[in-house]
Amino acid sequence: MIAATTRRTAALALVPALALSVAFAPAAFAQDAGTKTQAQEQTAETPDAETDAPDVRDIEVPEDRVTTFTLDNGLQVVVLPDRRAPVVTQMIYYKVGAADEAPGESGVAHFLEHLMFKGTSNYPEGEFSRKVAEVGGQENAFTSDDYTGYYQQVASDQLEMIMTYEADRMSNLVLDEETVLPERDVILEERRMRVGNEPGAQLSEIVQATMFVNSPYGTPVIGWEDEIRSLTRDDAIAFYDKYYTPSNAILLIAGDVSVDEVRALVDKTYGKIEQRAQIEERDRPSEPEPRAERTVTLRDARVTQPSFNTSYLVPSETTAEDNEAAALDILSDVLGGGTTSRLYRDLIVEKGIAASAGTYYQSSALDDGTFVLYGTPRGGASLEAVEAATDAAITDLIENGITDEELERAKNRVRKSVIYLRDSQTAMAQRYATALATGRTIEDVEKWPERIEAVTVEDVNAVARKYLKPERSVTGYLLPEASETAEATTPADATGKPGEPAPSPASLTPVPNEPAEGEPMVESPS
């Protein structure tokens, strides 16, 4: 199996920064949230007739659109009917992720995710995946800081089949040394490929560890190499027995189904599973209030284009007070969310000094998240110039605030994103699953557009002034390796002036997390 990681990027379509709170992100190094992929950097909204978007409050949601019920064994079931095509998506989310691992066992959540494909007492290894492939379906799995998910998409008449197999591996997984140890080697190789061979991923890990000094979010989802090496069969089984139980899971069925049909199939499959463990409320160390601005620098011979990213510690949708999360969404869109954003217009269009510049808000975490700015110089421009222009844009926004026009444009983009999101049953299902796995409710998801509509100019200005402070930030610099004949320069010296070492053009762009929302993750296609 292959794995990718993300603290908060999207495996489906890329969406505007503001849409991150409603998008779903099953892949892309969760720990690589400090930077953007090249595709993300180059994707921008096309300015169009934004004012033509309908008011999101006028978009009616059928009362039976989302139904939820809980089985006697504690499994929460959510049904999202969508009759447009004879297709159904099944997602099972376990409310446990890398941030719930015991000290010294980093990577065990992702390790177990791989091992879940190794067969059960009822079905041999690979049979589930073969059955999905035989009917033309798709499947995948992913691990994040806060949850671990498995999903399949098949023709709707195959729903009972995938339910049967998924329910079986919730309770009947079989692991032996001959299965476990080779898979551990696969994960070590995955880490070498996705972190050891990627300077951007290495920097993201460092930035994350520097940002979260007490929170478990400072540990990479894939795990530290030395700790992965020490993981055993017993570690995986103990994690499985403790967390992979019905009352710690959320089952989402989206597509061409009825609630009655799903209820009958769930009772027949998942309803037979006994509760194996008593799940306690997650109690994690919290991140203390940051007191000092921090910077980290990574130089590597494979880097040909310098870049920087600055992460600010901010509340997530779960931890935010009042309507701050919605205001941070708007702030991200206005400052760096697309071709009409301030950073894009100033650094890319007007000054022409940046190849990429933008922001994203990683909001879908159980604990606090991050608000990230990034930039890469273009041509002969210096990294110092790009960073200085970004700082100036932040200063101007804090001092003068956003305008009514900027607020309305941002809201219009959200209205559109809500409509487009409903076009994908998997995206909608993942949005609900992510919310439920991180302490929110179905009502929170449904009311999100209303919270966006309620945001005012002063709300956005307030969160900018409150959270975009240097002492709340960690800035990571990715630089080419210094020449042996040239004196090493810091980012502040890289001005490109005659007689001074200047960064070379063309790049190996660092890879991040999710944007996606979410949140960091490791995805493992089977």
Average pLDDT of every residue of the chain: 83
Average pLDDT over residues 33-38: 32
- Cβ-contact 98, 519 below 8 angstroms: no
Per-residue model confidence (pLDDT) at position 42: 29
| Higher-confidence position of 27 and 167 | 167
Phi then psi dihedrals of residue 400, to 5 deg: -110, -15
Question: Which residues lie closer than 8 Å to 338 by C-beta, 6 or more apart?
Answer: 16, 17, 44, 45, 344, 413
Distance between CA atoms of 377 and 323, rounded to whole angstroms?
35
Of 197-211, 379-393, 485-499, which range is least confident? 485-499
In single-letter form, the type of residue at position 108 comes to V
| pLDDT at site 511 | 30
> Which residues touch 38 (CB under 8 Å, ≥6 apart)?
509
113 is catalytic: yes
Which has the minimum average pLDDT: 286-295, 359-368, 510-519?
510-519
Indicate whether 490 pLDDT > 50: no
pLDDT tens by residue, 72-84: 999 999 999 999 9
Mean pLDDT computed over 316-334 = 96
Instruction: Say yes or no to pLDDT of 525 above 70.
Output: no
Nearest Cα residue to 160 out of 102, 95, 90, 106? 90
**What is the mean pLDDT of the segment spanning 319-329?**
96
Catalytic residue among 105, 113, 317, 387: 113
pLDDT at residue 2, as a whole number: 34
Q: What is the pLDDT of residue 65?
A: 78
Question: Higher confidence at residue 34 or residue 215?
Answer: 215
Instruction: For residues 41-48, give the mean pLDDT.
Output: 32
Beta bridge partners of 143: 148, 522
Taking only Cα atoms into account, the Rg of the chain, rounded to an integer number of angstroms, comes to 23
Q: Is 271 exposed, middle or buried (0-12, 13-18, 19+ CB in 10 A)?
A: middle
CB 10 within 8 A of CB 516: yes
Query: For the residues 480-498, what does the mean pLDDT come to?
Result: 47
**CA-CA distance, 312 to 474, in Å (whole number)?**
7
> Using CA of residue 296, residue 300, residue 302, residue 305, what is the dihedral sign?
positive
Per-residue confidence (pLDDT) for residue 416, from 0 to 100 = 85
Beta bridge partners of 522: 5, 143
Give the number of C-alpha atoms closer than 13 A to the C-alpha of residue 6, restricted to the C-beta side: 28
What distance in Å separates the CA atoms of residue 516 and residue 497, rounded to the nearest whole number?
Answer: 38
Q: How far is CA 196 from the centre of its chain?
A: 21
User: Mean pLDDT over residues 258-285, rounded?
Assistant: 94
